[in-house]
């Protein structure tokens, strides 16, 4: 895993709209995103899309690109496929950051599960924890 990556922001912090890497609307969230959410340029993840990343810090406009350090990786199982999410920040993660990230991805998994049902996508959708932990565990 690279220590520093370039991320293109698809969902700025505070936004309700989730866009795909090509700019088309994926879905509208019932809650605003507490992080900048995007994808790592020139990568391909297990699901065939670019590798997902959140970038902590101030809001970054949609389409904006930022270089940031990878601090951690979380696992989300999306319709049966592990979908790594890089956690990026230029400062080390605090306990509060980790708690907020846990809450976000637990809620994200619930809303994504509902969306997958509507889209008739089979397979488990769940937050599976941090890459530095046992896959069956997640931090509270």
Can you give the residue ranges of every domain in the chain?
A: 4-130
For 87-104, b/e burial (b = at least 16 CB within 10 A) is bbbeeeeeeebbeebbeb
> What local confidence, expressed as pLDDT, does residue 27 receive?
79
Reported as a pLDDT band with limits 50, 70 and 90, residue 1 is low
**66 has pLDDT over 50:** yes
Assign a CATH topology to domain 4-130. Inorganic Pyrophosphatase (3.90.80)
Whole-prediction pTM value?
0.84
For the ranges 50-54, 95-99, 113-117, 120-124, the lowest mean pLDDT is seen at 113-117
Reported as a pLDDT band with limits 50, 70 and 90, residue 2 is low
- Residue 138 or residue 82, greater confidence: 82
DSSP strand E in the chain: where? 4-11, 17-19, 25-28, 36-40, 52-55, 65-78, 81-88, 126-130
Please give the Cα distance from 90 to 88 (Å, whole number): 7
What is the pLDDT averaged over residues 121-138? 73
Read off φ and ψ for residue 2, nearest 5 degrees: -65, 150
**115 has pLDDT over 90:** no
What is the pLDDT averaged over residues 48-54? 92
What is the pLDDT averaged over residues 50-58? 95
Query: Is 121 exposed, middle or buried, given 0-12, 13-18 or 19+ CB atoms closer than 10 A?
Result: middle
For the ranges 35-44, 45-54, 76-85, the lowest mean pLDDT is seen at 76-85
Please give the Cα distance from 82 to 126 (Å, whole number): 9
């Amino acid at each position: 895993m690279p220590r520093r990556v370039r991320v293109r922001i698809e969902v700025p912090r505070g936004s309700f709209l989730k866009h795909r890497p090509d700019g088309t609307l994926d879905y509208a969230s019932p809650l605003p995103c507490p992080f900048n959410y995007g994808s790592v340029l020139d990568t391909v993840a297990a699901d065939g899309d670019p590798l997902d990343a959140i970038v902590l810090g101030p809001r970054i406009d949609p389409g904006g690109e930022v270089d940031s350090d990878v601090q951690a990786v979380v696992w989300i199982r999306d319709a049966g496929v592990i979908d790594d999410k890089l956690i990026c920040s230029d400062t080390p993660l605090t306990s509060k950051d980790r708690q907020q990230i846990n809450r976000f991805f637990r809620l994200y998994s619930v809303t994504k599960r509902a969306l997958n049902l509507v889209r008739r996508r089979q397979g488990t959708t769940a937050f599976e924890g941090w890459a530095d932990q046992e896959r069956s565990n997640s931090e509270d």
